[in-house]
């Protein structure tokens, strides 16, 4: 009987309310307004959307989530953790006491995520050129595809166009 009483007493003293009732992780649902988008979270990996990710609330104050899809501008979403100090204090006043308070904050259970759902509103990339038809001559079609013109040095883009114009004029093509 003494062992059972000691065990129950230890569980109450060395456990805490939020750690038991809520847990150390918080789920966040990530969605995008376009299908086929992916979300990347450092330390967690890349996920096909929609996805529900369990974030360890003890490991960071915030998480940057990069949502991308080819042909669209990437968007960075941020999830922050915030302290549920009222719930922690009330819960640990009833169960756990000071050790429970320390455990709740140490495990991350004392924190809540700023939002349970994120929606990335991706917009078509203005800098992406799917295909540019430079000639109308059906025998000499040249298709130029530049996927990221913003990061393409100007001299390369101008050089490609200038080279093509010289080739056209040398062949007598207008």
19 pLDDT higher than 70 = no
Domain chopping of the chain, boundaries: 2-120, 129-170
Distance of CA 121 to the CA centre of its chain: 13
Q: Is the pTM of this model over 0.95?
A: no
Residue 1: pLDDT band with limits 50, 70, 90: confident
Query: Measured between alpha carbons, how far apart are the two ends of the chain, in Å?
Result: 100
Residue 164 phi, psi dihedral angles, 5° rounding? -65, -40
Q: How far is CA 147 from CA 37, 105, 123, 141, in A?
A: 17, 46, 15, 19
Q: What pLDDT is stored for residue 135 in this prediction? A: 42
Residues 40-89: tens digit of each pLDDT? 999 899 999 999 999 887 787 888 999 999 888 899 999 988 776 556 55
Report residue 26's pLDDT band, with 50, 70 and 90 as the boundaries: confident
Q: Residue 52's pLDDT is what?
A: 94
What pLDDT digit, counting tens, does each position of 123-172 carry?
A: 887 655 444 334 444 444 444 444 555 555 555 555 555 554 544 455 45
Looking at residue 132, its pLDDT comes to 37
Instruction: Tell me, letter by letter, the H, E, C secondary structure of 79-140.
Output: EEEEECHHHHHHHHHHCCHHHHHHHHHHHCCCEEECCCEEEECCCECCCCEEEEECCCCHHH
If one compares 113 and 119, the residue with the highest pLDDT of the two is 119
pLDDT the model gives residue 46: 95
Phi, psi of 137 (to 5 degrees): -70, 120
Q: Give me the pLDDT at residue 131, please.
A: 40
């Amino acid at each position: 009987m003494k062992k059972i009483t000691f065990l129950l007493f230890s569980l109450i003293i060395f456990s805490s309310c939020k750690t038991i009732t809520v847990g150390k992780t918080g789920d966040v649902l990530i969605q995008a307004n376009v299908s086929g988008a992916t979300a990347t979270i450092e330390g967690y990996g890349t996920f096909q959307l929609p996805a529900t990710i369990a974030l360890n609330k003890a490991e960071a104050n915030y998480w940057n989530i990069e949502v991308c899809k080819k042909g669209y501008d990437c968007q960075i979403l941020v999830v922050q953790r915030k302290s549920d100090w009222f719930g922690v204090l009330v819960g640990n006043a009833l169960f756990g006491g000071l050790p429970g308070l320390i455990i709740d904050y140490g495990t991350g259970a004392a924190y809540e995520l700023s939002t349970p759902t994120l929606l990335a509103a991706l917009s078509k990339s203005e800098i992406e050129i799917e295909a540019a038809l430079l000639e109308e001559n059906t025998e000499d079609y040249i298709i130029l595809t530049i996927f990221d013109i913003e990061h393409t040095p100007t001299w390369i883009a101008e050089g490609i166009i200038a080279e093509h114009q010289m080739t056209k004029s040398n062949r007598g093509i207008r």
